[in-house]
Amino acid sequence: MTRSSSMSLYEIRMEGWKALTERLGPAGAMRFMMQYDPGHGDYSNERHEMFGALTMEELLHSIEQARPKAPRSEP
């Protein structure tokens, strides 16, 4: 019987996090964990609902309006 088989899921999670942070550091451990986040929702359906009724011209215009304006340089 291994030690992990007698541990609770919480204990396993804490030991795993400890191992990750010791080996990778806090930032590296977070980057590693983010690879396994399954996310939620339906990306394709949400985008279709948000942008499906817009034309390409309307989308491009919206992008141009959202971009910060570059300062003009004087000659």
**Four-residue CA torsion sign, 50, 56, 58, 61:** positive
Per-residue model confidence (pLDDT) at position 4: 76
Round to whole Å and give the CA distance between 62 and 56. Answer: 10
Domain range enclosing 38: 3-65
The answer to whether position 9 is within a domain reads yes
pLDDT range class, residue 69, cuts 50, 70, 90: confident
Domain count for the chain: 1
Which structure tokens are listed for 58? 């309307």
- Contact call for residues 21 and 29 (beta carbons, < 8 A): yes
Q: Indicate whether 11 belongs to any domain.
A: yes
Q: Is the pLDDT of residue 74 over 70?
A: no
- 20 inside domain: yes
Asked, for residue 16, whether it belongs to a domain, the answer is yes
Which pLDDT score, from 0 to 100, does residue 29 have?
A: 93
pLDDT tens-digit readout, 4-51: 788 899 999 999 999 999 999 999 999 998 888 777 778 888 888 888
